[in-house]
Amino acid sequence: LFTPALSPGQAFTELQAKVMDTQQKVKLADLQIEQLTKTKKHAHLTDTEVMMLVDETRMYEGVGRMFILQPKGVIHNQLLEKQRIAEEKIKELEQKKSYLERSVKEAEDNIREMLMARRAQ
């Protein structure tokens, strides 16, 4: 496919739009990481409290609008799994955020170069 060359003004506008869009994605990743961190911490604190209870304690898992009786071990494993999944998602989001930040930096550098070239003319 042939794409027509962009004028300097159009290229500059596109780069600005890319920077703004990427910065929004970075902020969204930050919010998601914060939420997952809270989820992980909540699961950890709940698990700590559950493990202090005697094994015969009746525990219920909320499923929709009902509660199901579950053994302590099942509840413990579910909370550990919830922590593990949150940790994996946090790592993925941090990698994505790092990539996006590099992308923002590259686009900003390109904008600077374009401005310097305009001033030199």
Q: Provide the pLDDT for residue 92.
A: 97
- Contact assessment for residue 26 and residue 79, using Cβ atoms and an 8 Å cutoff: no
Given a cut of 80, is residue 9 above it in pLDDT? Answer: no
User: For all residues of the chain together, what is the average pLDDT?
Assistant: 90
Q: What CATH number did the domain enclosing 89 receive?
A: 1.10.287.370
**Count of beta carbons in the 10 Å neighbourhood of residue 69:** 9
In-domain check, residue 30? yes
Q: Which of 89, 94, 110 is nearest to 26 (CA)?
A: 94
In-domain check, residue 63? yes
In-domain check, residue 110? yes
In-domain check, residue 96? yes
In-domain check, residue 91? yes
Q: pLDDT by residue (tens digit) across 20-79? A: 999 999 999 999 999 999 999 999 999 999 999 999 999 999 999 999 999 999 999 999
In-domain check, residue 1? no
Q: Provide the pLDDT for residue 61.
A: 94
Number of domains in the chain: 1
Given a cut of 50, is residue 2 above it in pLDDT? Answer: no
Structural domain range at position 99: 8-116
Cα-to-chain-centroid distance, residue 46 = 23
